[in-house]
Amino acid sequence: MIRDPKDLKRYTASERVNHWIIGMCFILLALSGLAFFHPAFFPLTSLFGGGVWARILHPYIGVVLAISFLLIFMRFHRLNVMTDRDWQWLRRIREMANGDDHNMPEQGKYNGGQKLFFWVQGICILLLFITGLMLWRAWFDLPVTLVRVAAVIHSASAAIMIAFTFIHIYAAIWVKGSVRAMWYGTVTRAWARQHHRDWYRQIVGK
């Protein structure tokens, strides 16, 4: 449905599907992973049909996540190259958080925070994937010291990834008019002009 023909297209259908596959995998992985992370979260295993099922499913979902993230990485990595302007933006993130974003450096399709998030996720998923395979006793049996190192890295990068994703989700809720970009692909011109002025100019030519 086209609400307003003037709206700007931000994501294609296949980009959106890709994003939501990652999102679903992430939620399932975080819920099942946290269950092993600390006893306080163990009851989450019942969402998966018990501890054994959570243990069986988690790594397979992880592999799906790794593959779908690789796809989105190939799609978006060029748009996420960090520039001076992004570091400037990040240095002034406090102004942004105060809701006073009018003087922030003008941003392209992604702002410094979004780009940082992209790279943190990329590194975390790479680490989680490698160490996840190392922990996967159903298929692999590595020397115990390696498995111990993998356990530390896997749980640490999972915690970092979950924290960054909380912020990612909150940012989408906080900045009104963003979530629709991932639901049906478009944003309003005013939204683009306010939050991504440079991108707005490139697309609209004004």
Partner 1 sequence: MALQSLDIKNRSATTTPTPQARSTVEVAKLIDVSTCIGCKACQAACMEWNDIRDEVGSCSGVYDNPTNLTENSWTVMRFSEIEEQGKLEWLIRKDGCMHCADPGCLKACPSPGAIVQYANGIVDFHEENCIGCGYCITGCPFDVPRISKKDNKAYKCTLCSDRVAVNQGPACVKACPTGALQFGSKEDMKDYAQERIADLKERGFDKAGLYDPPGVGGTHVMYVLHHADRPQLYSGLPQDPQISPLVAIWKGATKPLAALALGLVALGSLFHYVIKGPNEVSKETEAEVEKEDAA
201 binds partner 1 (CB under 8 A): no
**Paired strand residues for 187:** 8
Among 174, 179, 183, 202, indicate the residue that binds partner 1 (CB under 8 A). 174
User: Are the C-beta atoms of residues 56 and 138 closer than 8 Å to each other?
Assistant: yes
For Cα atoms 153, 157, 160, give the angle at the middle one, nearest 5 degrees: 150
DSSP annotation of 99: T
Among 24, 72, 162, 175, indicate the residue that binds ligand HEM (CB under 6 A). 162
Closer to partner 1 at the Cβ: 130 or 149?
149
Cβ burial, residue 197 (10 Å; 0-12/13-18/19+): middle
Q: Which of 58, 154, 168, 196 is catalytic?
A: 168
163 binds partner 1 (CB under 8 A): yes
Among 10, 105, 132, 181, indicate the residue that binds ligand HEM (CB under 6 A). 132
105 binds ligand HEM (CB under 6 A): no
167 binds partner 1 (CB under 8 A): yes
Residue 195 designated active-site: no
Select from ligand HEM, partner 1, none the partner in contact with residue 104, using the beta carbon and a kind-dependent cut-off of 5 to 8 Å.
none
CA distance 26 to 122: 13
Closer to partner 1 at the Cβ: 71 or 101?
101
Question: By CB under 8 A, what part of segment 63-92 binds partner 1?
Answer: none
3 binds partner 1 (CB under 8 A): no
Q: What DSSP string runs through 17-61?
A: HHHHHHHHHHHHHHHHHHHHH-GGGGGGGGGGTSHHHHHHHHHHH
User: Are the C-beta atoms of residues 134 and 142 closer than 8 Å to each other?
Assistant: yes
Nearest to 86 by CA among 196, 206, 204: 196
Q: List residues binding ligand HEM (CB under 6 A).
A: 26, 29-30, 33-34, 36-37, 55, 58-59, 62-63, 65-66, 125, 128-129, 132-133, 135-136, 151, 154-155, 158, 161-162
| Active site residues per annotation | 168
